[in-house]
Structure formats: structure tokens, C-alpha cells
Chains A and B, each alone.
Chain A
Amino acid sequence: MRWFYNTMASVSPGLCSENALSTTQKAEEDGDTESTSSSFSSSDYNYDLEPEWLDDIQKNGELFYLELSEGEEEAALARVAASQCLSTNHVRFSEKEAEVITEQASTQRRGSRRKGEPALKKLARILGRKRRPSQRKGGKDGSRGKATSSPPASILKTQPGQQQGVTVQRRRLKEVCVYLNPKRLASSPTPLCERGGLLEALLGLVHRPAWTGGQKDRGAVLQDGRLTVHGLIPNSPAIKCGQILIGDVLLAVDDVDVSYENIERVLSCIPGPTQVTLTLETAAPADSAAPSDSSPVQKTKASPPVSQLVRLLWGEDTAELQMAIGHIPHIVMYLSLKLDSTSLQEEEEILYQYPVSEASSQLKGVRGIFLTLCDMLENVTGGHIISSSLLLGKHLVHVGYWKEHNNLLVVGLPAERVPLLSLQTVVGDVVRTLKVMYGSLNSAFCKADHALRLDHFFCLFFQQLIQPWRLRKGSPPPPDVSGSLFLDGLPAVRWLTLPPEIKMEVDTVLSDFESSDFGEMSEDFFGLRRLYVILGSCLFYKSYLIANHLPKENLLDVCLYCQHFCLLPLASEQRVGQLVIWREVFPQQRASGETAPGFSQPQGRHFLLIVGLRHFMQCVLLEAGGCASPALGSPGPDCVYVDQVKATLLQLNALEAAMEERLNVPSAPCLSCADWFLPAATTRDRLDSLASSSPVLSKLAGAIRGSPSGHRGRSLFGEKSRKSSPQRSLSDSGSEGPMDAGSGSSAAPGLSPHSTPDSGRWIGGRRDSLGSDGSGGSAGLFKMPRMKHPNPFYLGTLKKTLTARETEETYNTIKLTSGTENTLFHYVLMETVQGIFIAPTHREVAQLSGSIHPQLIRNFHHCCLSIRAAFQQSLPARGCRAADRSQRSGWGLGPVKEHGVLFQCKPENWTDQRKPAPTMTYWVIGRMLLEPVPQEFYVCFHDSVPEVPVEMAFRLSFGLGL
């Protein structure tokens, strides 16, 4: 692209004049906008004429702008080329959100901002408005291109032969998908004034009108107006797709007839990055003209190159995805409990419903059940209904309920995707997301103009739950459904620990931004009241949270939003060229009014700004009102704030290498692959090959060769496992006297991974066996080591004194389990206070590969669902204390502190008939701690580990600079 701009710098008059005009108009508008919003700085727009996302702002101020990165586009193009795609013809120009904008809307928007501006600008705007209608209409699917001079019919209906006469028999049509990004043009420093116009700039097709009919008859050429390809621009979409040949004639863009006269207009209608289908007439090679080719248009369906998720986020194509799950019963309904029996209107109690499919209509038909149950059961059992199960044919469907005032939200989901255990979490999360976005369920569902957006919202919701593999490329079924259920259901965000210097740098950059000291860009500079107060921000890198300056509840709100729109996986695969999201949000903590005494929450409005650049994504929570100026109407994103976030992200880009390094380093606890523990011959080979490449693994391989039996005699709780290694006996003796100096000294180095936790374990064991008190066992265990070295969670000061090298060494050497082998397979640690959790990075897991290991992780997550459910259900019981519990007849198992399950796995496809398949057993253990910090641990390790999991948990949390 760059090359193209540079080479085409030679300016020629003609078509470019309109472009130049339009860009200046836009710039003026921007200037206008900014001046009313009081923070405009002219210097900002010296070269960058307008932000690409400006057109996508909706009339309510919301913005969802997503642009793919170049790498992603190229990948898409490569796929087009590979599949020889004569692809689908239903690609739309605009995303749904942009579609909402009509001419009226945009003028309204501008109108609302316009107050007493110079007459010249008015004129410019009038011109602009004149031009815009065609643009907007072009953006709409149905009426696309109607504004062009000659009403274009669909290419499919038009017989090209009518125009072409006799040549039609020798020529045939082909369709080519290309990915276009008009925003790229806007960001290019070179103004777009070449004579090729958009055809060259956007598509990369060179068309020289003069050449077509020969120089002699120029008038005929213009009449003809056929767009013959005379050349292709290097690195352009046209040449990358590899199917457009010189000599082809461009007939249509997305089924809109194009000619020399209207091509620029049609192309200028493309508002944002999208995929378009070009219809070209090509000279059929003489030898390949088979009889079957006589039909003018050959169409084959191929998979659309841009991933389904992105298309979904753009608002395209939901029908196809929705069709694929049409037979699976699922529904969301918002029902009114106030029934007006006098009204004759049918279905008036349905305030909102999605989707409309056969299976869901069956659920809709029985909504009477839901209403009746909700109404009645409260009187029977004394609590709101939360779930019910229905059998629809062969499908078991769980229905979750959420009652708000006089309305009832009903969510029906297939049981094979969402087990009953996690239904409540899923429903709770979607309700909270809606509340964050709209304030309350009522305001979300009861406004008519929200319907389209809610359709989109729930389409995403169901797609993610029912067929997540369609959204994410490279994750074929069977998907880790319970994994995403578990991890998304945790009230926490995935955290990536960083080396302290990097962490500090990141924090500094974020703090600088949050101080709102924008220099000459700030409102202060102009002596104005601030537009927004930055409440805080958090930063994601490749879907991991790396810094958070938001209170926990706000963080969870933001994270729920990101999760719902799949922004995190998006960023992790470098799909994001640029992402700008702006919307008003209603933070739930503020809504619920939980504040400290003596502090009253300022009555402000809150806005969420998310900006993503490549792998980074920053979410900023802004407050208007309070100490900033109150927000009126529905303000759109402010360019200054967006640009400041972008600047922050660009600044952080310098740290990308360090973060990549961090991601590449196997982090705190080393992991093992489950396959290594199954003594199959193939596994051994693989291990050897692995070992040759990695010294760490070679040690491990040696250990395995030394003990080839798959099922070792040692066991977690077994007596045999108590045989002490030298290390252990050392530390044991150290800890014989409780908390004596000996154990203290052995623990003092603090980072020696072998001795200290063992002492912790021992004392923990002693404590436990003494049974001093109900919860004392775990608490005591944690108190003891904390006296020796600072708590890992408050390690800040200590860690800063360490050099990077040392820290890295700790990372490398910390091994969760003791003994010669590393037997930890997977872990999740959740820190409830800060609302974060850590787990092995995706890359770490991918490195382990193996065939059993993914199964094991799926199983781990599934089991964690159960464990966490046990924890959750015992929480209310914890509320009321023993005294008043014992009076009641029964109160369940009581508060669960720890829960473990032992699994056995066998290799699949065991063919050897003579020997029984080798087995491997492993534990999945969850533990909930309330002191000193509320935490939940979930670990998965091989059966041969002779330790209590709390020790692992201890080591796990150690070395984390949270």
C-alpha cells in the first residue's frame, strides 16, 4: 500500500477534486465538532484529517469500530486465493451499527452540535450533506447504489450479453472476493488525488480509459464505460487475490453494476473495512471452454475468508450462524408479569424475544409455564424461581430465570452445553452485562430501538455458548465448553504476571494517562471545565490483563463487556488493526450503592472507552458530571481522549518485546504434559525428541525412563509417599519445633523452592491433625510462612529490589511439586479481592501439546465447575453461624473448604490386545481460602504427588507480583 501511495504521488486532476473536497469538508466538520466539545487542537489534524471511526458513531453516541490489522487481511486474502473463492454474494458494505445511521441521523447528529458556526462551514456542510445521502444509501443493503446516476440492477439479473452482443459466448463471468479497507486511505499521508481514483487506490485496478477503445475514438470509450483492467497495482487487494487478470472487465461490485461513470461513487460508498465481491468478465481460455461453462455465472460456495466472529461483530451474516443452531432449542424472552386480561392483543406479554426459530418457538409456546411457575413458586417455597428443566423431544433444556420488578427474563439453554450447575452463573453474567450496558433490564428491553442491538447481543451470546468453534478459527470441535464456562464464570479476569520493571513501567504509563494531564490538549489549557474524569483504566495484552487501575467491581463490569463481545480472543490473535468502542455504561457497584459511609457517590454518568491497537487493548472508565462537566444528550467519543489512549498504547508498544519474552518463558510453575506419564512407546519417542531440544525436559525424560511403569505405587495420601527425600528430612527437622529459628532460617532465602514449602506442608499437616479449630488448619498454614517472608501478594517492595535476572531465575526454578519429576498439569488461582485469576498461558498449554493433555484440561475445567459450585452453594450457609444452623433440621453438607476428585485416564485407541491399557491417575483439587486473602485454587496434578495441595497453592501464589 505504501508503495502505491508513493508511486502514485504524481497528482493528476480530474476525479481527485471531489475527494479533496470531501476530505476538507470532513476536516471542517471535525473541527466544528471539536470546538463545541471544547478540546480541539488544530495541531492534531495537521496531517491526519479525520479519525476513521467518526462515520460509525451512532446517533446515541455509541461507537463500535473494528478494523482488522494488515496481517489479518493478508491472511484472509491468502485464504481467498487458496480456496479459489467464488464466494458468497451477501457481503454487506457496512456493519450493522453503521447501518443504523441514516442520512437523517447523521444530520441530526451534526445538527445537535452546530451552534453559531461561521457561514463558510455551513456551506461546506450543505455540500457535505448533499454528498452524503448517496454514501449512506450505498451503505445499506437493500438500496445500495440507488443514488447512482443510472439505477443499477443486479448483475445476476442483467444479462451481460445484452451489452456485449456476440462476445458473450466466448467470455464468462467470475466472482472474486477481496478485502478492502477505505480507512487505510484516509490515514495515508498522501492525498488521494491520483487519476486512478478509488479504483486504483482501493482496489488496485488500473484502468486507462484512453486505452480501451484505442486513442482514436475517445467519445465511444466514454459511452461504453466498461472498466477493463489494464494493470494491477503491486500489493493491492486485486493482485493479492490472484484471480484478476489484465484484460478482465469489472462489471459489478457486490452485485451493483459499475461502469466508468459510477465506479468512484460505488467505491466511495464503502464506509469501512469489509469484504466485497467483484464480478468480472474474463476471456475464457479457448481450450477450457467446456460445454458446462455455457452458463454465464459460475458460482461455488466457499468459506468466507474473514472469520465468523469478526463478521458477527461487524453485524454481518448472523442469519447463517443462527441457522446452524436453529434446531437446538434456545431462547431468551423478556416477559411481563402484569397481564392485562382485557386486552385482546396476543403475545403482548412478550416484551422481547430472540431468536425466531422452530425449536425456540416451541419454548415460546410454553411461556405460560414460566410465568405461572415464577408467580406461584414464591408462595410455595419462599424464594424466586431460578431454574427449571424441560424435556423438548430429545433435548433437555435448562431454563434460567431472572425477575426484575414486574418483568421476567427467561433464558433457555440446551443442557448438553450448559449444565445446571453453571446455569445460574451464565444467566447472572448476561444480566449483569445488560445492566452495565443499559442500566437495567427494563431500559434494555423496553425501548423499541434497542431490538436490533439486542438481537445482535443475544446472537453473540448464543453463538458463544452453543457453537464457539464457529467463531474462532483453529479451534475445531470438540470445544472446551466447560472450560469457557468455568473461566468466564469466575468473577475474575485472567492475569499475566510481568517482571517488576515492566510492570512498573506499564503502571507508570497508565498512571500518566489517568492523570489526564494532556498538556495543551487538555481542557485546562483552554481554561474549561473537564469533560470527563478518568476513573481508572485497565490494560490487556493478548487477552491477558496486565495492569488494572480500576476497582474490582468496575473491572468485572468492563471485563464482562469485553468477554461478551469476544474482544479478548480477538486481541490475542492480532486481528485488531484498530478498535474503538465508546458507550455509556452503568457500573454496577455504583448502581447498587455500596459505598463507604461518609462518602456519597457523585451523581455522574459513566462512559466506557475501549481502544485496541494490535495486541494491546485499553479500557478506560470515564465519569461525566461530578467534578467534570455534566454530559448532555448522548455525547460521542471525544477525539482527544481516544487519541490520548492511542498514544498510551503506542507508548506501550515499546514494551511488546518484553511481554512476548514473558509469554515465551515458561512461567512460575512449570507444567507437565499428561502424555508423558503414559508409558506408550510413541510417547517415549516424542519425549526424547523434545528432550534433545530442551534441557529442562531432558531431566524429566530421564526421570521417566527411570520409572517406566505408568502406575506408581506412590500416592497422594499414601503412607509410602512419606518416605522422605533428603531435602524433606532436612526441612522436617527444621520444622519440628514449631516456628523455631531453624525453620525460619531455612525459609529465609525465600525463593528456594524445595525446602520452604515442605516445612509449610509439615506444619500444615500437624495443625490439621491437631484439629485446633474448624478453619484454623488452612489459616494457620498460611500465617506461618508469612512470618518468614513477605506475603507473595504484598511482595511489591521486595521484588523491586531484585534484578530482572534474579526474578527470571525464580520463575524458571519454581516448581510446584517436589521430587525429581514435575507432576503439575494445570492450575487456576483466583484472587477474589482483586478480581483476577492466573492460569497457564495459552502458549504454555500449546507447547505441551500431546493428545491426552487437551482432554485432561477439558476434564479439569469440567471438574472445576463442580468444585466451584460446591464452594458457591456452601457460601450462604457460611453466612448464618453454627448456632442458628444447628437449630434447623438440616443444612446440607456445610461449608466446603476443599474438594478433590481423582481421575483415571487411558490412552485412546489402545490396540494391543495382550496387555491392558496403561492408566494414569491424576487429582483435580479445589480449595477455598478465606484468610488471609480470599482465594480459590484449582490444581490438577499426577497421582504420585505426595503433598497436600495447599502447599502447591502456597508456592503458586508465591512469586506473583500482583
Chain B
Amino acid sequence: MLQDGSTQLLCLTASSGVPLFTRGASKQLPFSVIGSLNGVHMFGGGQGALLSSCETEGGGKVVWKVFHDSVMLIAVSGGGSSGACSGAEMSRLQRLLENVWSCMVLVLGQDELVNLRNIERLKRDLRSCFCLIDQLLEEKHQGVLGNLTHCADSLVPPNPTPLQEALDGFAQAADSEFGCLFVHGRIVVATEKWWRLAPQEVVLLCALVRTLSASGSASCDYPVFLPQGSPTVAHRLLHFQLLPGADVCVLCGPTPSLQKAETELVGRLWSPLIETLRSCLAVGERCLPGSVPLRPDVLALLLINRETRRSVSCVQISSHHPLSDSSLSKSRCWELLELFYIFSISRYFTQDETLCGSPEESTQSSHTEDFLHGFSHQPQQCYLVTEDCKCYGFQTQQHQFFLLMLPSVPTFALRTVATQTLTDIISATAF
């Protein structure tokens, strides 16, 4: 039996049901269970009834999805983690499966996954995705919501212009149009072409860079397939650690070599900007420069720019706040923010489609949002008052904004606080 709140991911070949790997949860499900989970889906598929999801008492969930008729992914969640939003949990798992598939494509390329020539070899190759997949499964990757939102987690630096110039120069020197600078695993600046990558690809590249940076190597050369841009032809991802916590990467062709780029370009172009980078690092998890005032009773916020597909999120816990009963830990705030985001998205707000996967897959996922289509009028804003906090979310043409506040904030003031905070951020950073 799965533990509460843990998620296990099963990957099998769709045609024969051979298990490729399982990740997540300390205790693996018995093989018979894996076989039956795959079996019911296959049986239904043969009868024209495509099983997509399942829910049990206590919030346990199972979600199935087949990609390109070759690989079946099953996510099993142990329940208990989603008191207030079972539908939300469902869409979280669905998104997880999409991300895992894209990860596999990113690392191995679509050809190898679709053609399934040598299963034993594929099993071996898939091991290289594990650290990335584990990162997606890991619940505690605080401060990164891109996997859910499919918007690049960003960090707004106090002074972006020199960084942007340096990055553009660096990418040009590396013979690439795709370059990106990360601080704390969030995008600080990126070249224009980088932003034209599919949002999901950007998010996955961020995740990849985070794992590469966590591995501790100062530089590496990693072949990547872009799940949508070039699922069959690999590019080289050159990654360099500038400072602990600050990374730069470029997507490039056969040249230059890693050696050459590291010795000739990195030092030359980035050493003048060390102080600027340090100031970026100082922004830390707040993601917003100090010039942006945040009310003390704001616990956490998530701001999404729907046009540029970027997001900023932060949690501020002031332990000495007079009114907070300090029952909310930082991780709990992140979790609440995440839950509130999924809750609002799965019920009220439209999530801008990221066009991942084939068209029939996207229609299938839109089926799960049937509740949203039941509204005859357009939801604009929503709020939740729970025992722990008060949440306010709204969407405009350009932004989606989600705010977590202390329970002490009067309910009637929520809207004002939220709009005011948004205005402050936008006017200060032009996000």
C-alpha cells in the first residue's frame, strides 16, 4: 500500500506491458498490481473505452496516459495530500505525466521511445532521466512552480540591462541564439530566441539545469532533444556554473567545444559582472528586488505573465510578525500556494494551453476540464478562506495573480490588497 501523499510513477511499454521503470515512493508496488493497472487500461482500450483516471476514498488517485502508442505512464498517488481539491490533484498528476514524457523525450529523443527496438537497452538508457524525473516527482522542490504552471520561474534582478547585454554577447560568441542565465534555478535573463521555445521546453530546461547545477560540476556538455522544437535531432546544452547558485547555459550546434567555450568565453565575458551576479543572488528566493514593497501580511504570491509565459513566485515568512501564529512553515506556504493555484486553475481560470503532445492528447486533457465549460459566465476572480490562510486569485488579460495572506487580513480587504500588490509589482518591475 502506498503511503499517504506519496506518488509513484510507473512506466511500461504500451503494447506489451513490459515495465520500463518505476520511480517515486519508497516502497515499490508489487508487480501484480502494476500488471493489473496496465491490464485494465489495455483491456479498456481494446473495447473502445479509454480509462483515464480513478479516485478512491481518502483521496487516492490513479491516472493513466499513453504517449504515441508506445509508452504508457501511470501515476498512483496515495491520497491524503489533497483535502480540499481532489480534482486539482487529478490535474496535477496529469500534468506530471506530461512532464515525465517530455523529460524522456528531452533526454532520449522521440525516436528511441516511439520505435522501441531494444527494450533492454531502452531500460538502461532511461536511467539517465531518473534524476530529472525524480525532481519532478519530488514534492519539496520549493519555490519552483513551473512544472505546474508551464511558465518559466523567473527572478527579477534589480538591474537587468548589463546582464542581458552580457548574455547576448556570450550567446553570440558561443555561436548560439539560445542562451539563458539562471540564479537559484530561476531564469534571470534569456536571449530573445530562448523565449520562443515552447513554454514546456523552457520549464524542462530549467529543471535540467537545476539538476546539472546540483551535481556540482562547473561545466558540462549535455545533449538534449527539444520535445516540440526538435524531438528527433539533438542539440548541445552547454552549462557553466558562474558562481554557486548562478548558472549560464546555451543551446548550440557542433561548435564550439565545451573546453573552448569554458576557457575562452566564460571568464572573459562574465568576470566583469560578478558583482551584479552577487546582487542577483542576494535577491534570493524572494525573486523580486527589494525595491518592490510587499505588505507584511502577504504570505506568498505567484504572478504569471500570460503573454511572456513567465512567472514570479515568492514566500515571505517574517517569523517575528506580531499577528502570525507562526503555524505556517515555509514549505507549507509553498504547498498552499501550489494547491490554491491548481484549485483555481482546475475550476475557474483557463490555463493557457501549452500545446504539448499531439493534438488528440490535448483534446483529451481538455475533457478533464469539463467543469470549467459549465459556467455560462466568465470567472474573473476567486478567493478562499481556510483555517490557515486566505487566498485570493484573479486573472486579467495579461496576468494571473495568486496571493496567500494571513488569516488576520479582513476578508473584504482581500481584493484591495491583491490588486494593490499586483500594481506595485508591475510598476516596479514592468513584469
A residues touching B (Cβ–Cβ < 8 Å)?
A: 362-363, 365-366, 368-369, 372-373, 376-393, 396-397, 415-416, 419-421, 482, 715-719, 765, 768-771, 774-775, 855-856, 858-859, 862-863, 866, 869-870, 873-874, 876-877, 882, 886, 888-905, 921, 946-948
Is the beta-carbon distance between B371 and A866 smaller than 8 angstroms?
A: yes
Is the beta-carbon distance between A870 and B410 smaller than 8 angstroms?
A: no
- Would you list which residues of chain B between 395 and 424 have a CB under 8 Å from chain A? 406-416
Is the beta-carbon distance between A388 and B84 smaller than 8 angstroms?
A: no
Q: Chain B at the A interface: mostly helix, strand, loop or mixed?
A: mixed
Knowing A379-B33, A381-B58, A866-B371, the reply to whether A893 touches B377 (Cβ < 8 A) is no
Is the beta-carbon distance between B57 and A862 smaller than 8 angstroms?
A: no
Proximity bits, B35-72, A CB within 8 Å = 1, else 0: 01101100110011111111111111110000000000
Is the beta-carbon distance between B84 and A391 smaller than 8 angstroms?
A: no
Residue of A with least CB distance to B76: A380
* Residue of B76, B364, B408 contacting most chain A CB atoms (<10 Å): B408
- Cα distance A519–B410 in the bound complex, in angstroms: 62
Knowing A389-B368, A415-B370, A948-B411, the reply to whether A896 touches B384 (Cβ < 8 A) is yes
Is the beta-carbon distance between B384 and A859 smaller than 8 angstroms?
A: no
- Cα distance A513–B17 in the bound complex, in angstroms: 68
Interface 9-mer from B1-9, B127-135, B271-279, B280-288? B1-9
- Cα distance A377–B2 in the bound complex, in angstroms: 10
Which single member of A384, A416, A855, A904 contacts B370 (CB below 8 Å)?
Answer: A416
Q: Tell me whether B78 is interfacial, beta carbon within 8 Å.
A: yes
Q: Tell me whether B387 is interfacial, beta carbon within 8 Å.
A: yes
Q: Mind listing 12 A-B residue pairs with CB under 8 Å?
A: A379-B33, A380-B37, A381-B62, A388-B51, A388-B54, A388-B55, A389-B53, A390-B50, A419-B371, A420-B55, A768-B411, A898-B385
Chain B residues near A855: list those with CB within 8 A: 376-377
Knowing A377-B60, A388-B54, A893-B84, the reply to whether A768 touches B79 (Cβ < 8 A) is no
Q: What distance in Å separates the Cβ of A683 from its nearest Cβ neighbour in chain B?
A: 17
Residue of B with least CB distance to A855: B376
Q: Tell me whether B340 is interfacial, beta carbon within 8 Å.
A: yes
Q: Tell me whether B195 is interfacial, beta carbon within 8 Å.
A: no
Q: Tell me whether B221 is interfacial, beta carbon within 8 Å.
A: no
Is the beta-carbon distance between B58 and A382 smaller than 8 angstroms?
A: yes
Q: What distance in Å separates the Cβ of A915 from its nearest Cβ neighbour in chain B?
A: 18
Knowing A381-B2, A381-B79, the reply to whether A774 touches B54 (Cβ < 8 A) is no
B residues touching A (Cβ–Cβ < 8 Å)?
A: 1-2, 4-6, 29, 33, 36-37, 39-40, 43-44, 47-62, 76-87, 139, 323, 327, 335-336, 339-340, 343, 347-348, 364, 367-368, 370-371, 374-388, 391, 394, 406-416
Chain A residues near B379: list those with CB within 8 A: 863, 901-903
Q: What distance in Å separates the Cβ of A506 from its nearest Cβ neighbour in chain B?
A: 38
Q: What distance in Å separates the Cβ of A784 from its nearest Cβ neighbour in chain B?
A: 16
Chain B residues near A904: list those with CB within 8 A: 377-378, 380
Q: What distance in Å separates the Cβ of B180 from its nearest Cβ neighbour in chain A?
A: 32
- Cα distance A775–B379 in the bound complex, in angstroms: 28
- Cα distance A202–B215 in the bound complex, in angstroms: 94
Chain B residues near A419: list those with CB within 8 A: 370-371, 374
Knowing A396-B367, A716-B412, A894-B83, the reply to whether A372 touches B40 (Cβ < 8 A) is yes
Knowing A378-B56, A892-B339, the reply to whether A369 touches B40 (Cβ < 8 A) is yes
* Residue of A415, A859, A889 contacting most chain B CB atoms (<10 Å): A889
Residue of A with least CB distance to B84: A893
* Residue of B323, B336, B416 contacting most chain A CB atoms (<10 Å): B416
Q: What distance in Å separates the Cβ of B320 from its nearest Cβ neighbour in chain A?
A: 16
Which single member of B47, B53, B85, B394 contacts A365 (CB below 8 Å)?
Answer: B47
Residue of B with least CB distance to A719: B416
Is the beta-carbon distance between B408 and A769 smaller than 8 angstroms?
A: yes
- Cα distance A300–B375 in the bound complex, in angstroms: 41
Q: What distance in Å separates the Cβ of A362 from its nearest Cβ neighbour in chain B?
A: 6
* Residue of A372, A415, A866, A870 contacting most chain B CB atoms (<10 Å): A866
Chain A residues near B43: list those with CB within 8 A: 366, 368-369
- Cα distance A500–B49 in the bound complex, in angstroms: 57
Residue of A with least CB distance to B37: A376
Residue of B with least CB distance to A423: B55
Is the beta-carbon distance between B33 and A366 smaller than 8 angstroms?
A: no
- Cα distance A363–B2 in the bound complex, in angstroms: 29
Chain B residues near A381: list those with CB within 8 A: 1-2, 56, 58, 60-62, 76-79
Is the beta-carbon distance between B412 and A390 smaller than 8 angstroms?
A: no
Chain A residues near B383: list those with CB within 8 A: 898-900
Residue of B with least CB distance to A392: B49
Which single member of A383, A771, A921 contacts B407 (CB below 8 Å)?
Answer: A771
Is the beta-carbon distance between B415 and A717 smaller than 8 angstroms?
A: yes
Chain A residues near B340: list those with CB within 8 A: 893
* Residue of A388, A392, A856, A895 contacting most chain B CB atoms (<10 Å): A388
Knowing A379-B33, A389-B53, A895-B387, the reply to whether A870 touches B84 (Cβ < 8 A) is yes
- Cα distance A921–B78 in the bound complex, in angstroms: 40
Chain B residues near A897: list those with CB within 8 A: 385-387
- Cα distance A877–B85 in the bound complex, in angstroms: 12
Q: What distance in Å separates the Cβ of B334 from its nearest Cβ neighbour in chain A?
A: 11
- Cα distance A396–B2 in the bound complex, in angstroms: 28
Is the beta-carbon distance between B87 and A891 smaller than 8 angstroms?
A: no
- Cα distance A640–B49 in the bound complex, in angstroms: 55
Is the beta-carbon distance between A889 and B5 smaller than 8 angstroms?
A: yes
Chain B residues near A947: list those with CB within 8 A: 412
Is the beta-carbon distance between A892 and B82 smaller than 8 angstroms?
A: yes
Is the beta-carbon distance between A392 and B48 smaller than 8 angstroms?
A: yes
